[in-house]
């Protein structure tokens, strides 16, 4: 698998875990404490943002470099393997990390001695989780080759993120000035959009008639400027042979100005969303994720565009690919893209979330479009029916109900009940279609079709389950692959992780027994269809 794709998967994994941790635990609980616990409260958020920023920066620069690579570009090293033991180690480390986080961040009177041991265990599990995750995607022996192949990009990226974190931390003296500028620009933009805007410069309070925002120093835009400065410097160093200097130095101020202006646009949009009656959306998903999305879009877009500008680039781009020889299709795309499309659409939808998943239909539409895109590949699979599949689906359904942590009658969500009847029917139709059709197909392609077989062997598309169960060594690898893929599948189901693991084991054994991908798909669809029936019949809305 290509280096860029592996690092992007790591970026997605680490970003998802970071979002979950930051939403669940409040870092303010550690501020003011002594010793290592206090240091985590002061520097923990900066370090975590730096790690995520490093992965995103490295992946973005590698992607841009490969996108513009010439014919003489050295091929990426091959022989990539997903290591199931390191993957299992990552799951165990992150589980322990969450456990120690719950202990460390719990309210109450701090105990210095106990907090120190908790903090040490917390840091150890976090570092172990990061290292094991990285080694699960790319084994240690190949990391050295990857770093050599990428040249100095990884070192530049790390230095740039260090510089960005240091700049954002030690530039607090500039916060009042930056806050004032952001406040003035946001006020101007908001006044152009609506009337009745009031402003309190002393408190940096900007208010529409029904919604107000206090611009804290942390929201002044300096963190984004620091990140953009670091990104621009690293990009100029990485692509120094492509840019014309000193013209290319304009990338630095242009990027910093754009990200600073974008912060004012973000604040203005946040107020307008709240003023429109979507306070939860403004205070929740949009406030927490819009800044990151703006930085990623502006930084990568700016470098990609400027490297195409004749005025900026030093050399003309390589010859265009002949239409008669199109680029070969990535063999992993048909297995992973539908599932990744659902995840990506869900993350973007959460940006506009108000507490109810009104945008769930977008995930269904995205999955259908991607499944249709690869329909030619799917037609080559054995979709033969077997009665074992729905039977396994019923068994998983019973297990799911038995392990449901809060199985009780609940009323229809208030947001859905308040909507017009046609809108309710439309949303429910998409919700059932997603649960019974797109989700089983996408998840079984990713977890059983790819991950389970990929852990068994590198040539996963020709993996023979019968031979994998035959020899002792292969039986051990079969069990590890089945357990590891089921663990990942279970973790994706949040609080229902244990039921998800058991479901993954059942679906995996069914796939191995029949050799037909249709079997786990039908079983999964049967389980979800029975769960969907419990909603109107018994009122178990919490199952969704």
Give the pLDDT confidence of 166-178 residue by residue, as tens digits.
Answer: 665 555 566 677 7
Cis peptide bond prior to 7, omega within 30° of 0: no
Q: How many residues does the chain have?
A: 544
Among the residues of 276-411, which ranges form H helices?
A: 279-281, 287-306, 333-351, 360-373, 375-378, 388-402
Nearest to 281 by CA among 355, 345, 331, 209: 355
Residues of the chain above pLDDT 90, percent: 10
Sheet holding 205-207, edge to edge: 198-200, 205-207, 212-214
For residue range 412-426, what is the model confidence (pLDDT) as tens digits?
777 788 888 888 888
For residue range 424-450, what is the model confidence (pLDDT) as tens digits?
888 889 999 999 999 999 999 989 988
Lowest average pLDDT, out of 72-86, 294-308, 452-466, 493-507, goes to 72-86
Instruction: To the nearest 10°, report the CA torsion of 465, 469, 472, 476.
Output: 70
**More reliable by pLDDT, 72 or 465:** 465
Nearest to 460 by CA among 529, 511, 528: 511
The Cα-based distances of 140 to 8, 75, 143, 233 in angstroms read 18, 19, 5, 29
What average pLDDT does the chain have? 76
- Band (pLDDT 50/70/90 cuts) for residue 506 is very high
Q: Is the pLDDT of residue 374 over 50?
A: yes
What local confidence, expressed as pLDDT, does residue 389 receive? Answer: 92
Pairwise CA distance, residues 94 & 130, whole Å: 9
Q: Is the pLDDT of residue 460 over 90?
A: no
Lowest average pLDDT, out of 56-65, 218-227, 390-399, 471-480, goes to 56-65
Pairwise CA distance, residues 432 & 263, whole Å: 38
Pairwise CA distance, residues 489 & 149, whole Å: 33
Token pair for residue 50?
């730096």
Q: Is the pLDDT of residue 317 over 60?
A: no
The answer to whether 528 and 435 are in contact (CB under 8 A) is yes
Q: Is the pLDDT of residue 1 over 60?
A: no
Q: Is the pLDDT of residue 399 over 50?
A: yes
Summarize the confidence of residues 143-151 as an average pLDDT: 65
**More reliable by pLDDT, 244 or 314:** 244
Lowest average pLDDT, out of 97-101, 460-464, 534-538, goes to 460-464
Nearest to 219 by CA among 263, 282, 188, 268: 263
Lowest average pLDDT, out of 111-125, 147-161, 246-260, 433-447, goes to 147-161
What local confidence, expressed as pLDDT, does residue 353 receive? Answer: 59
Q: Is the pLDDT of residue 318 over 60?
A: no
- Band (pLDDT 50/70/90 cuts) for residue 53 is low
Summarize the confidence of residues 121-127 as an average pLDDT: 84
Q: Is the pLDDT of residue 341 over 60?
A: yes
Domains of the chain, by residue range, sit at 1-151, 172-317, 333-543
Token pair for residue 174?
């500039």
Residues of the chain above pLDDT 70, percent: 69
What local confidence, expressed as pLDDT, does residue 444 receive? Answer: 93
What local confidence, expressed as pLDDT, does residue 164 receive? Answer: 65
What local confidence, expressed as pLDDT, does residue 71 receive? Answer: 35
For residue range 282-314, what is the model confidence (pLDDT) as tens digits?
765 566 667 767 887 888 788 888 877 888 777
């Amino acid at each position: 698998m290509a280096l860029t794709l592996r690092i992007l998967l790591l970026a997605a994994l680490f970003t998802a875990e970071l979002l979950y941790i930051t939403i669940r635990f409040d870092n303010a609980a550690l501020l003011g404490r002594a010793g290592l616990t206090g240091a985590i409260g002061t520097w923990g958020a900066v370090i975590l943002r730096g790690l995520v920023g490093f992965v995103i920066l490295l992946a973005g620069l590698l992607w841009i470099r490969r996108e513009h690579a010439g014919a003489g570009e050295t091929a990426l090293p091959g022989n990539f393997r997903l290591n199931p033991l390191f993957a299992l180690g990552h799951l165990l480390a992150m589980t322990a990390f969450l456990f120690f986080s719950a202990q460390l961040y719990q309210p109450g009177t701090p105990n210095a001695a106990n907090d120190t041991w908790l903090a040490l265990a917390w840091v150890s599990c976090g570092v172990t989780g990061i290292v094991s995750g990285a080694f699960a995607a790319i084994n240690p022996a190949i990391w050295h080759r990857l770093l050599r192949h990428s040249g100095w990009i990884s070192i530049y990226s790390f230095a740039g993120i260090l510089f960005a974190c240091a700049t954002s931390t030690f530039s607090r003296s500039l916060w009042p000035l930056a806050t004032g500028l952001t406040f003035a620009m946001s006020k101007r933009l908001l006044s152009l959009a609506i009337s009745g805007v009031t402003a309190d410069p002393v408190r940096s309070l900007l208010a529409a008639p029904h919604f107000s925002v206090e611009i804290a120093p942390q929201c002044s835009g300096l963190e984004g400027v620091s990140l953009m400065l670091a990104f621009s410097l690293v990009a100029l160093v990485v692509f120094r042979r492509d840019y014309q200097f000193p013209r290319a130095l304009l990338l630095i101020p242009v990027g910093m100005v754009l990200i600073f202006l974008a912060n004012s646009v973000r604040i203005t949009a946040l107020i307008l969303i709240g003023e429109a009656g979507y306070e939860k959306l403004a205070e929740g998903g949009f406030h927490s994720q819009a800044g990151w999305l703006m930085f990623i879009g502006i930084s990568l877009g700016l470098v990609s565009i400027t490297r195409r500008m004749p005025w900026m680039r030093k050399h003309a781009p390589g010859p265009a690919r002949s239409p008669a020889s199109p680029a070969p299709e990535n063999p992993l795309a048909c297995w992973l893209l539908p599932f990744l499309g659902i995840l990506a659409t869900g993350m973007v939808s959460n940006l506009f979330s108000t507490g109810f998943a009104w945008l769930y239909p977008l995930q269904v539409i995205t999955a259908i479009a991607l499944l249709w895109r690869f329909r030619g590949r799917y037609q080559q699979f054995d979709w033969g029916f077997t009665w074992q599949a729905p039977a396994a689906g019923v068994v998983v359904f019973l297990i799911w109900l038995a392990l449901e942590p809060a199985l009780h009658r609940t009323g229809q969500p208030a947001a859905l009940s308040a909507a017009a009847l046609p809108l309710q029917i439309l949303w429910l139709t998409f919700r059932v279609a997603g649960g019974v059709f797109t989700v089983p197909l996408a998840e079984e392609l990713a977890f059983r079709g790819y991950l389970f077989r990929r852990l068994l062997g590198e040539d996963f598309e020709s993996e023979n389950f019968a031979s994998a169960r035959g020899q002792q060594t292969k039986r051990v690898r079969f069990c590890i692959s089945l357990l590891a893929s089921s663990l990942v599948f279970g973790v994706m189901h949040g609080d229902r992780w244990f039921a998800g693991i058991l479901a993954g084991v059942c679906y995996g054994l069914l796939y191995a027994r029949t050799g037909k991908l249709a079997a786990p798909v039908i079983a999964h669809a049967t389980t979800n269809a029975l769960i969907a029936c419990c909603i109107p019949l018994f009122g178990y809305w919490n199952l969704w």
